[in-house]
Chains A and B, each alone.
Chain A
Amino acid sequence: MTHALLLSLSAHPGLAAFAAGGQRLARLNSIDILVIAIYFAMVVYIGFYLKGTSNTGQDFFLAGREMTSWIAGLSFVSANLGSLELMGWAGSAYQYGILATHWYWIGAIPAMLFLGIVMMPFYYISKTHSVPGYLQLRYGQGASALSAVSFALMTILMSGINMYSMALVMKVVLGWDLNFSIWVSSVTVAVYVALGGLKSAIFNEVLQFLLIWAGALAIPVLGLIDAGGWSNLRRQIATNLGRSDYVHLWSTLGHFNTNPMGVNWFGIVFGLGFVVSFGYWTTDFLVVQRVLSADNLRSARMAPVIGAAFKMAVPLIVILPGLLALAVLPFPLVGQDVAVHTGQHSYNEVLPLMLVRYCGPGLLGLGVTALIAGFMSGMAGNVSAFSTVWTYDLYGAFLNRKASDRHYVAMGRWSTLLGVLVSVGTAYLVQHAASIMDYVQQLFSFFVAPLFGTVILGMLWKRATKAGGFWGLLCGTTTSIGLWTWVRNDPSALRYVAMSASAKDMAENIYRALWAWLVCVLVTVVVSLMTEARPVKELEGLVYGITPIPREREERWHQRPVVWAGIVTVIFVGLNLLFW
């Protein structure tokens, strides 16, 4: 999640320290600059090309609802594959070992499949344009407005933080000026999203996905040759670290203090695998918007399944380089705080370090382009989602309800530009007060877990009422903020929040989400039972059991999303057993 949620869980405090932690890692030559320039030219051209095809609200905000399952699926997974995730999780793999893979497998795959098979029919059939839009239909304006305001605010702030982070990375890796990176990337994103809307953002996300693989796949391939294969890699890591728990996914999760991450299996399965993961992948509009652009219900259901299949492969280019670095780098990496004082390289620099280790001119430019593309498409995703929620769920719902479609499209373009400007402002703000970045990242995570409780009850339980939805969401969010504040003021409270004094940051985030979700569900149920239910007829198209779901009888077995979801599940289980 450049997205905030996963980023906040990745426990990378103070990216500002990243900038101060070392000196320039690489120097680009003219070939590398040419590779980067071609990418910028291509994305701007796509924006101008798509301008003529984004004239109606449906075109601009939902890409005309004409994306195939492959495009929607790749865009769905790519919207989450920003460069901060790549670099952050490669660093986490160096720091925590293969446990970081949980955020790509159990922390993503079941939720993505659930979205495609169970939830997508309700989002798609209700013809909503956004997640707050669904809440408006299901619970009315209270829950919808709360969700829309928090989403719009946090999305745009996160966009600025991502922009600042990108500028920092470019400064550290290449020595580029912060202002240059911020303005070139933001103007480029503003041009192509304001012109082509969601379609332009989706096109560029698909390109980014291919670029990331083209730019990063050489690292694990060459790294495995360098390390002498997977078995030798495991042996080398055990020898270098003097411990063997860095290469096991599950066998070390019996207790908080038997693994490098300080978390246990219950937290990983129920906190990460259920609440955090389902909250992000099924209710964060940034990713759900990509699937809503699908051309029919079958494509909308297949898109998350396709996304899940590719998501399972991402550890190859993210986690494996981190593990390889443990074995092949001739010097140790350190935490950011230490790096600031000693001038050593930090964990977060592991991906650029491996890139520089194996890639000469051309390949290096391609790797850097992949990082830039990741940052820019992440920002474009934030800005396009902000534009939709602002235009439909705030401006259209409260300020100007009866404007023409043309007016809303114009508002979408202007709000895109405004969103980019606010992002730039945020980038400069965090430049002078870096601690704000950590707070905002946490803030974003406060809303996601309770929102999942609200949405899932709304979809599966017809008795959930307007008041129940609003108060459940509000109490869940307040609980999350309260627990976070409690631990900040009294670190010993972690033993209650995460249920162990041995718990670390990751466990705190996971368990806080679990509590927030439980409170949200409990309050929603209690308040709903105390208030008058909506007539069943009004809930048609919104709630399971009342909504007729189109059957898949006319499709052949190999065209059915549920069959492919089953295949992905089998591979998912097999991989977890393989690396147990």
Chain B
Amino acid sequence: MRETLSIWWFAGLLLLAYGVIILLTGIWELSHPLVPPPVLNRLHPAIWWGGVLTLCGLGYCVRFRPGRR
């Protein structure tokens, strides 16, 4: 029987994809400000939240990568 991929690997993949998308969006907004901006957009939540998701996703992907015992 084939090896079952861990649910945590799928979770890591999803978080990584979302983290990268949101982080890049946040960086893009630095040079292309939103009009009108959401409340507290000066804190650049897309950058720090995208960064957190990227790190979490990376951690899960590495820790639960296919083939790792």
A residues within 8 Å of B by Cβ? 31, 34-35, 38-39, 42, 46, 49, 52-53, 71, 202-203, 206-207, 210-211, 214, 218, 222, 225-226, 356-363, 366
Other CB < 8 Å A-B pairs besides A42-B10, A71-B7, 14 of them?
A31-B21, A31-B25, A34-B21, A39-B14, A42-B13, A46-B10, A49-B5, A210-B14, A218-B45, A222-B45, A358-B45, A359-B38, A362-B25, A362-B50
Please measure, in the bound complex, the distance between the C-alpha atom of A34 and the C-alpha atom of B22, giving whole angstroms: 11
Give the Cβ gap from A370 to chain B, nearest Cβ, in Å: 10
Please measure, in the bound complex, the distance between the C-alpha atom of A38 and the C-alpha atom of B53, giving whole angstroms: 15
Count contacts between A and B, CB distance < 8 Å.
Answer: 77
Quick one: which of B6-61 are within 8 Å of A by CB? 7, 10-11, 13-15, 17-18, 21-22, 25-26, 29, 34, 37-41, 43, 45-46, 49-50, 53
Closest 3 A-B residue pairs measured CB to CB?
Answer: A362-B25, A362-B22, A203-B7
Which one, A202, A207, A362, contacts B26 given CB within 8 A?
A362
Contact between chains at A357 and B38 (CB < 8 Å): yes
Which one, A38, A53, A210, A226, contacts B17 given CB within 8 A?
A38
Please measure, in the bound complex, the distance between the C-alpha atom of A362 and the C-alpha atom of B50, giving whole angstroms: 9
Task: Write out the residue numbers on chain A whose beta carbons fall within 8 Å of the beta carbon of B41.
Answer: 360
Please measure, in the bound complex, the distance between the C-alpha atom of A42 and the C-alpha atom of B9, giving whole angstroms: 12
Contact between chains at B18 and A35 (CB < 8 Å): yes
For residue B69, CB closer than 8 A to chain A, the reply is no
Please measure, in the bound complex, the distance between the C-alpha atom of A366 and the C-alpha atom of B39, giving whole angstroms: 17
Closest to A211 in B: B14
Contact between chains at A362 and B7 (CB < 8 Å): no
Give the Cβ gap from B30 to chain A, nearest Cβ, in Å: 12
Which one, B7, B18, B40, contacts A226 given CB within 8 A?
B40
| Interface of A (DSSP majority class) | helix
Contact between chains at A207 and B11 (CB < 8 Å): yes
Task: Write out the residue numbers on chain A whose beta carbons fall within 8 Å of the beta carbon of B43.
Answer: 222, 225
Which one, A39, A71, A222, contacts B40 given CB within 8 A?
A222
Assuming the contacts A52-B2, A358-B45, A362-B46, asked whether A210 and B11 have C-beta atoms less than 8 A apart, the reply is: yes
Assuming the contacts A214-B53, A225-B40, asked whether A363 and B14 have C-beta atoms less than 8 A apart, the reply is: no
Task: Write out the residue numbers on chain B whose beta carbons fall within 8 Å of the beta carbon of A358.
Answer: 38-40, 45
Closest to B49 in A: A218
Contact between chains at A222 and B39 (CB < 8 Å): yes
Please measure, in the bound complex, the distance between the C-alpha atom of A1 and the C-alpha atom of B7, giving whole angstroms: 24
Closest to A34 in B: B21
Please measure, in the bound complex, the distance between the C-alpha atom of A155 and the C-alpha atom of B10, giving whole angstroms: 29
Closest to B34 in A: A360
Please measure, in the bound complex, the distance between the C-alpha atom of A203 and the C-alpha atom of B11, giving whole angstroms: 9
Task: Write out the residue numbers on chain B whose beta carbons fall within 8 Å of the beta carbon of A226.
Answer: 39-40
Task: Write out the residue numbers on chain A whose beta carbons fall within 8 Å of the beta carbon of B38.
Answer: 356-360
Task: Write out the residue numbers on chain B whose beta carbons fall within 8 Å of the beta carbon of A203.
Answer: 7, 10
Assuming the contacts A207-B10, A362-B25, asked whether A53 and B4 have C-beta atoms less than 8 A apart, the reply is: yes
Give the Cβ gap from B31 to chain A, nearest Cβ, in Å: 14
Task: Write out the residue numbers on chain A whose beta carbons fall within 8 Å of the beta carbon of B40.
Answer: 222, 225-226, 358
Assuming the contacts A226-B39, A358-B40, asked whether A363 and B45 have C-beta atoms less than 8 A apart, the reply is: yes
Give the Cβ gap from B19 to chain A, nearest Cβ, in Å: 9
Assuming the contacts A222-B39, A226-B40, A357-B38, asked whether A206 and B7 have C-beta atoms less than 8 A apart, the reply is: yes
Closest to A71 in B: B7
Of listed B10, B26, B53, residue having the most chain A CB within 10 A? B10
Assuming the contacts A214-B53, A357-B39, asked whether A366 and B14 have C-beta atoms less than 8 A apart, the reply is: no
Task: Write out the residue numbers on chain B whose beta carbons fall within 8 Å of the beta carbon of A49.
Answer: 5
Which one, B11, B17, B45, B53, contacts A359 given CB within 8 A?
B45
Which one, B7, B15, B26, B45, contacts A214 given CB within 8 A?
B15
Please measure, in the bound complex, the distance between the C-alpha atom of A42 and the C-alpha atom of B53, giving whole angstroms: 17
Closest to A203 in B: B7
Contact between chains at B37 and A38 (CB < 8 Å): no
14 contacts between A and B (CB under 8 A): A53-B4, A202-B7, A207-B10, A207-B11, A222-B40, A222-B43, A226-B40, A360-B45, A360-B46, A362-B21, A362-B25, A363-B45, A363-B46, A363-B49
Task: Write out the residue numbers on chain B whose beta carbons fall within 8 Å of the beta carbon of A34.
Answer: 21
Please measure, in the bound complex, the distance between the C-alpha atom of A514 and the C-alpha atom of B18, giving whole angstroms: 45
Please measure, in the bound complex, the distance between the C-alpha atom of A211 and the C-alpha atom of B18, giving whole angstroms: 10
Please measure, in the bound complex, the distance between the C-alpha atom of A203 and the C-alpha atom of B9, giving whole angstroms: 11
Task: Write out the residue numbers on chain B whose beta carbons fall within 8 Å of the beta carbon of A225.
Answer: 40, 43
Please measure, in the bound complex, the distance between the C-alpha atom of A202 and the C-alpha atom of B7, giving whole angstroms: 9
Please measure, in the bound complex, the distance between the C-alpha atom of A111 and the C-alpha atom of B33, giving whole angstroms: 49
Please measure, in the bound complex, the distance between the C-alpha atom of A226 and the C-alpha atom of B39, giving whole angstroms: 8
Give the Cβ gap from A77 to chain B, nearest Cβ, in Å: 15
Contact between chains at A42 and B45 (CB < 8 Å): no
Closest to B50 in A: A362
Closest to B26 in A: A362
Please measure, in the bound complex, the distance between the C-alpha atom of A38 and the C-alpha atom of B46, giving whole angstroms: 18
Please measure, in the bound complex, the distance between the C-alpha atom of A366 and the C-alpha atom of B49, giving whole angstroms: 11
Which one, B11, B13, B18, B29, contacts A206 given CB within 8 A?
B11
Please measure, in the bound complex, the distance between the C-alpha atom of A260 and the C-alpha atom of B22, giving whole angstroms: 40
Task: Write out the residue numbers on chain B whose beta carbons fall within 8 Å of the beta carbon of A362.
Answer: 21-22, 25-26, 46, 50
Give the Cβ gap from A321 to chain B, nearest Cβ, in Å: 13
Contact between chains at A35 and B21 (CB < 8 Å): yes
Task: Write out the residue numbers on chain A whose beta carbons fall within 8 Å of the beta carbon of B4.
Answer: 53
Please measure, in the bound complex, the distance between the C-alpha atom of A31 and the C-alpha atom of B46, giving whole angstroms: 12
Assuming the contacts A35-B18, A222-B40, A366-B18, asked whether A360 and B10 have C-beta atoms less than 8 A apart, the reply is: no
Please measure, in the bound complex, the distance between the C-alpha atom of A49 and the C-alpha atom of B17, giving whole angstroms: 19
Task: Write out the residue numbers on chain B whose beta carbons fall within 8 Å of the beta carbon of A42.
Answer: 10, 13-14
Please measure, in the bound complex, the distance between the C-alpha atom of A46 and the C-alpha atom of B8, giving whole angstroms: 12
Task: Write out the residue numbers on chain A whose beta carbons fall within 8 Å of the beta carbon of B46.
Answer: 360-363
Task: Write out the residue numbers on chain A whose beta carbons fall within 8 Å of the beta carbon of B37.
Answer: 360
Closest to B37 in A: A360
Of listed A53, A214, A218, A357, residue having the most chain B CB within 10 A? A214
Give the Cβ gap from B2 to chain A, nearest Cβ, in Å: 7
